[in-house]
Amino acid sequence: EKGGYPHFMLKEIFEQPRALADCLRGRLNVENSSVQLGGLTDIMDRLEGAERLIIAACGTSWHSGLVGEYLFEHLAKLPVEVEYASEFRYREPLISEDDVMLVISQSGETADTLAALRTARERGALALGICNVVGSTIARDTDAGVYTHAGPEIGVASTKAFTTQVAVLTMMAILLGQKRNTIDSAYAARLIRELNGIPEKIEKILDHSESVKNMAELFTYAPNFLYLGRTYNFPVALEGALKLKEISYIHAEGYPAAEMKHGPIALIDKMMPVVVIAATDHTNDKMISNIEEVKARGGRIIAITGEENSEVIDLAEFNCPIPETEDCLSPLLTAIPLQLLSYYIAVNRGCDVDQPRNLAKSVTVE
């Protein structure tokens, strides 16, 4: 059932080109530059007129929600707040009928996410969901939603669920941007074409998994890791750190790169691998200074960056070059080497990758 792979996690990492293609199929029309999300048709008017989008989720799904915040602000000019479902439900959130609540959950059964959804609905918000498991409790409890169609995710560490959630958020943000007239039509056409080609680019990254495996050998016994990213790749830094923590039990932290100066820089020495996620965008110069600051303190740089970003590639000690893409689509690619890195490190450490200690696939109790 693992299709020849030693673990479900590795199978699911390698399934991503197919999972993404299934997620995008029938929804993207490259010829006429349009996005169709059948599940949202009935509520589109209300979504279009929303004053604010609140995204609530837990764990990896919360990270995809953070990517969603950048996407909706950029493409649909819609104010967004991203909430930990567990915090949101116990606050006194100010919600009105002009708000839209979007919950994100692979399993569709996470107790806190379900409670956040119900809190928002009780206060009159439109409730939308992005789920993987068809017919799950959250999917049934929302007014409308979009399935990720990633196929069953068995490994406890979420991989293809994350990338397909980000793909759905991207399609939603483009569609909403087109409806709200906040996205330039040539740019929308370019994004749709590029998104359609993402499964192939993921395939290319996976073709180089051996080099990530070799790199993992060198860092198997590192006691700590730091992950740094900016803009769309700040949430990817958080996600990379979470993946490493949960399956290899190595302490790891993800930060927005500029926050490094406000504390974590004190940790950096030659024992400290620093994973820099530097997709080539308008923050590239800033990332380069961050890399120099780490190097000046003896830190070891592993860079996940666009293959044409020679400045970063030359500065880094280790590199995972990825195909170039539009800035806002880069998390779909940068997440992949980070999944592989944590997988290979965990295997080297003899950890039970598919069933990490203390973790359950879906958290149906608080």
- The residue ranges that bind ligand F6R (CB under 6 A) are 58-61, 105-107, 110, 113, 156-158, 242, 246, 362-363
The nearer residue to ligand F6R, 124 or 152, going by C-beta atoms, is 152
The nearer residue to ligand F6R, 158 or 209, going by C-beta atoms, is 158
Helices (H) and strands (E) in the chain, counts: 15, 12
* Spatial separation of the C-alpha atoms in residues 37 and 178, rounded to whole Å: 13
Minimal distance in Å, beta carbon 303 to ligand F6R? Answer: 23
* Spatial separation of the C-alpha atoms in residues 104 and 313, rounded to whole Å: 35
Ranked by CB distance to ligand F6R, the top (closest) residue is 59
151: left (phi over 0), alpha (psi -120 to 50) or beta: left
Kindly tell me the sign of the dihedral angle through the C-alpha atoms of 45, 50, 56, 60.
positive
Minimal distance in Å, beta carbon 106 to ligand F6R? Answer: 4
Minimal distance in Å, beta carbon 136 to ligand F6R? Answer: 9
* DSSP for 329-366, written as a single string: GTHHHHHHHHHHHHHHHHHHTT--SSS-TT--SS----
Instruction: Write out the two tokens for 243.
Output: 């993946």
The nearer residue to ligand F6R, 27 or 63, going by C-beta atoms, is 63
Please confirm, yes or no, whether 361 is among the known catalytic residues. Answer: yes
DSSP state letter for 308: T
Minimal distance in Å, beta carbon 229 to ligand F6R? Answer: 17
The nearer residue to ligand F6R, 99 or 112, going by C-beta atoms, is 112
Q: In Å, what is the CA distance from 341 to each residue of 82, 115, 142, 325?
A: 27, 34, 36, 21
Minimal distance in Å, beta carbon 135 to ligand F6R? Answer: 14
The nearer residue to ligand F6R, 309 or 339, going by C-beta atoms, is 339
Among all residues, which ones are annotated catalytic? 361
